[in-house]
Structure 1
């Protein structure tokens, strides 16, 4: 499967201590956005200090106005509260959805845990309806676990 071929590249990028943590996360976002045809925007959001909000820390794709997302708002904000993966096959079917682009049709958000605490998430927007599978979820969980290692 395609995901298996990218795990070593993700691991190598994240292990490169000559780059800052943010630069490594950005390179992972770029790798995903450039190599997975339905990963049109990839970003990492993290809890913004003690505030009940998320702050965009690294991304690849079109710039977004949504650099700060309150807990509970949109898919990302809901994951910050639920601590669970959220796969949205069709964003039009979601009441609590924040539109980042008129082209976004689907979204997947996977929480990132450090020492059992949800500290952030990886967020992927797709211009394709219902492209994400269980394999995407598992691959993104792997990436988040690797990112948590460089944050600890």
Structure 2
């Protein structure tokens, strides 16, 4: 049975503990949905001040809602549209401090004020994106971006 590790150390030590937990959760599990569901739950438990953590999966044409923690969300997002679609199309992490200032932002949850989206890429193949929203403006910093990019890379390896 999974038990969350206590987070008594520094922020970077906590991030390392989460990555270790992610590895343990996915070890030997071949099912994509199970791995993404556990990954989204782990992030929701590990990241304070977030209101949505989850995945959108690329079906060859657009992003489609995958496992997540939070309020019901938009089901389909075209590439190049909103923060998720733009990050997927450009295959780069986007950190948006104020989503209301982002051109074409798709508001699935009116409480969201900032967002980070990390593409799930293995080799040259786009599998989807990791999407995390917060009700706080400017919630995500560079250290967290690097952590979430490592998290997404680990998830991408099991897709």
- TM-score (norm. length: structure 1): 0.90
Partner of 1:21: 32
Inter-partner Cα distance in structure 1 for 2:41 and 2:147:
15
Contact 2:99 2:114 in 1 (8 A): yes
Inter-partner Cα distance in structure 2 for 1:91 and 1:6:
26
Q: Equivalent residues in 2 for 1:47-126 (5 A)? A: 47-48=58-59, 50-51=60-61, 53-64=62-73, 66-126=74-134
Q: 1:42 aligns with which of 42, 53, 57?
A: 53
- TM-score (norm. length: structure 2): 0.86
Inter-partner Cα distance in structure 1 for 2:82 and 2:36:
22
Secondary structure of the corresponding residue to residue 128 of structure 2: strand
Contact 2:127 2:156 in 1 (8 A): no
Q: CA deviation at 1:16?
A: 4.4
Secondary structure of the corresponding residue to residue 98 of structure 1: coil
User: Is 1:138 matched with 2:146?
Assistant: yes
Q: CA deviation at 1:91?
A: 0.9
Partner of 1:7: 19
Q: CA deviation at 1:35?
A: 2.4
Long gaps (5+) in structure 2:
1-10
- Give the count of matched residue pairs: 147
Contact 2:120 2:128 in 1 (8 A): yes
Secondary structure of the corresponding residue to residue 54 of structure 1: strand
